[in-house]
């Protein structure tokens, strides 16, 4: 993957291009027909994809990957929708430091 490959961010979710999904991943089941990249802890909203040409996977270590057969829109109730082109991506939940712990960013 090129060092200059475009990354996509929506709130606390970062979508980074990768060359392939690792071996041994498990498919993440859809929720009400849509892929949920992350649930928000603070608001209950979610980062979602409605496309049937998208697949979401997770490794046993908890890393998540997205395969898109066509461009998709990533939606969230409190953020602007972002368009992500077809390709393979790693989905990273952003983390933050506090004096008591390192935790997921609350969205």
Summarised one tens digit per residue, pLDDT across range 31-86 is 999 999 998 766 678 999 999 999 999 999 999 999 999 999 999 988 889 999 99
pLDDT for 103 beyond 50: no
Q: What is the C-alpha separation between 75 and 83, in angstroms, rounded?
A: 9
> Count of alpha carbons within 13 Å of 23, Cβ hemisphere only?
0
* Domain extent for 60: 8-96
Question: What pTM was computed for the model?
Answer: 0.82
Would you say residue 18 lies in a domain? yes
Overall domain count for the chain? 1
Instruction: Compute CA 61 distance to the chain's CA centroid, rounded to the nearest angstrom.
Output: 16
Please check whether residue 19 is in contact with residue 83, taking contact to mean a CB–CB distance below 8 angstroms.
Answer: no
Would you say residue 75 lies in a domain? yes
Would you say residue 101 lies in a domain? no
Would you say residue 16 lies in a domain? yes
Instruction: Compute CA 101 distance to the chain's CA centroid, rounded to the nearest angstrom.
Output: 23
Max avg pLDDT among 1-5, 8-12, 28-32, 100-104? 28-32
Q: Of 16, 90, 26, which is closest to residue 58 (Cα–Cα)?
A: 26
Would you say residue 2 lies in a domain? no
Would you say residue 105 lies in a domain? no
């Amino acid at each position: 993957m090129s060092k200059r490959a475009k990354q996509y961010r929506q709130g606390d979710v970062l979508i980074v291009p990768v060359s392939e999904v690792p071996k041994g991943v498990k498919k993440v089941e859809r929720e009400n027909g849509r892929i949920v990249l992350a649930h928000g802890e603070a608001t209950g909203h979610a980062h979602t994809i409605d496309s049937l040409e998208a697949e979401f996977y997770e490794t046993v270590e908890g890393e998540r990957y997205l395969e898109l057969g066509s461009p998709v829109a990533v939606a969230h109730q409190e953020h602007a929708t972002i368009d992500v082109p077809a390709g393979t991506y790693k989905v990273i939940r952003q983390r933050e430091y506090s004096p008591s712990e390192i935790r997921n960013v609350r969205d």
